[in-house]
Amino acid sequence: MGESGSAAERRLGVGFGIAAYGAWGLFPLYWPLLEPAGAGEILAHRMAWSLLAVLVLLALRRVPDGTTRWGWVRQIVRAPRKLALLAGAAVAISVNWFVYIWSVNHGHTVDTAFGYFINPLVTVLFGVFLLRERLRRLQWAAVGVGAVAVVVLALGYGKAPWIALVLAGSFGTYGLLKKLVAVPAAEAMAVESSLQFVPAVGYLVWLGAHGTLVFGQHAGNTALLMLAGPVTVLPLIAFGAAANRLPLSMVGLLQFLAPILQFLCGVLVQHEAVPPARLAGFLIVWAALVLLTVDALRAARRSGRGDLPGQSTSTSDSSSSMHDSTLTQASTSA
């Protein structure tokens, strides 16, 4: 491909990246539209319709020569460790989705934005304490500044910012498990959605039996609930297209678009209050992210490859796979 073709591909990649992270950042405007369905019913619909959407995606995508379309299913079924890790990932992302949906629909969108801002810092800590990765000085500084931000918010609230911590912790756990299982994003999501499907449908049946199921009562609301699957999967497609065309450093910078948009949705659209203590916490964590980004870009220039901001660098290969994991986990965020 010539230079002009490469530039065109990069511009296309940026467009796909903005579409993906923009969609995730605007999710706070979508979930309230599904009311009067509660967070539990919305979550169940997202799980159930996501399985259908990802299966359609897998059925329509091009299959490389020498492989079969569904051959990966047999490989995963025969690997109990991978199934267990994907089951753990399904639990982690279910917790993340439920807390996110509940928070957005109960006036806590700004708190969710803070959770996704500190997520790269949580991922770095997981790399240090669980994967034995080593941090550079700027990375340690970023983690320390991020910890100060959490303390400032806790003092401002009078309690721990549990929504942000649960979102960051569950999402970080999800990314860690996806790193360990090393299964491509779409296939992993299909397995996770399959594991979520039966409990989700069972819960919807239970709601129907008790006369509290919202689905089917109003055509518009029913259509929006069914769209929860495509709304989950379509940004994944755009994200994959971006990741294939851009260096990881650029994709890493684009990832901050989502929590920025979430923050703006909370403040400008949902009119959530941002008292001085909360604003101070955000300013401090943004400073931490600047440190993390500067460090990652410096490392990328030294090594001649793109590293994702928010990830640590180790002397082992686990660091690079952790980079890919964080990119992959973003496909099912929010």
Q: Taking 90 as the threshold, does the pLDDT of residue 167 lie above it?
A: yes
pTM of the model: 0.84
- Rounded to whole angstroms, how far apart are CA atoms 173 and 73? 24
Structure tokens at 334: 């929010």
- Rounded to whole angstroms, how far apart are CA atoms 257 and 15? 13
How many CB atoms neighbour CB 37 within 10 A?
26
pLDDT of residue 34: 95
* Half-sphere exposure for 221 (CA within 13 Å, toward CB): 15
- Residue type at 85 in one-letter notation: L
- Rounded to whole angstroms, how far apart are CA atoms 115 and 160? 12
How many CB atoms neighbour CB 217 within 10 A?
10
Is the dihedral angle over the CA atoms 37, 43, 48, 54 positive or is it negative? positive
Percent of the chain with pLDDT over 70: 87
> pLDDT tens digit string along 185-223?
888 889 999 999 999 999 999 999 999 999 989 999 999
- Segment among 23-32, 57-66, 229-238 with least mean pLDDT: 57-66
| 8-state DSSP, 274 | -
- Rounded to whole angstroms, how far apart are CA atoms 157 and 151? 10
Q: Taking 80 as the threshold, does the pLDDT of residue 146 lie above it?
A: yes
Closest CA to 258 of 32, 101, 23, 94: 23
Structure tokens at 259: 């929590």
Q: Which of 1-5, 269-273, 315-319, 327-331 has the highest mean pLDDT?
A: 269-273
